[in-house]
Amino acid sequence: AQRVTQPEKLLSVFKGAPVELKCNYSYSGSPELFWYVQYSRQRLQLLLRHISRESIKGFTADLNKGETSFHLKKPFAQEEDSAMYYCAPSYNNNDMRFGAGTRLTVKP
């Protein structure tokens, strides 16, 4: 069965500290990988996708095919990063499944 695991439901860090949100996936083939973010009272929106290899709002994510992981990282967390984060592998037909999500709280 296809599965996405985000092991931490809640993650709390202080402002300026590094943060890593973990994501492991279990899929046949080679899915495309995304991170989505949901700020308070807003709709989900794309944060970044692995194929772009870009940094968005200071976040990066490295795909490790050997470990089937796509962890999201930021070296210095900011209070405005507090949100719900979802890892989402996508099949090549664009059928997208989401992890259970990690709620990140950045404390002042």
Asked if 104 and 11 count as a contact pair (C-beta separation under 8 A), the reply is: yes
Length in residues, the chain: 108
Strands 24-26 and 10-14: unpaired
Chosen residue from 7, 51, 54, 55 binding other proteins by CB under 8 A? 51
- Characterize the bridge pairing of strands 3-5 and 24-26: antiparallel
The nearer residue to other proteins, 60 or 90, going by C-beta atoms, is 90
CA distance 108 to 98: 29
Under the binding rule (CB under 8 A), the answer on residue 22 touching other proteins is no
Query: Binding other proteins by CB under 8 A: which of 8, 12, 22, 32?
Result: 32
88 binds other proteins (CB under 8 A): yes
Stretch binding other proteins (CB under 8 A), from 15-23, 39-47, 64-72, 75-83: 39-47
Answer yes or no whether residue 98 interacts with other proteins by CB under 8 A. Answer: yes
Residue type, 91: Y
* Listed ranges 21-29, 30-38, 54-62, 65-73: which one lies at the site for other proteins (CB under 8 A): 30-38
> Dihedral sign, CA of 9, 57, 76, 88?
positive
Which residue ranges make up the site for other proteins (CB under 8 A)? 6, 9, 32, 34, 36, 43-46, 49, 51, 86, 88, 90, 92-101
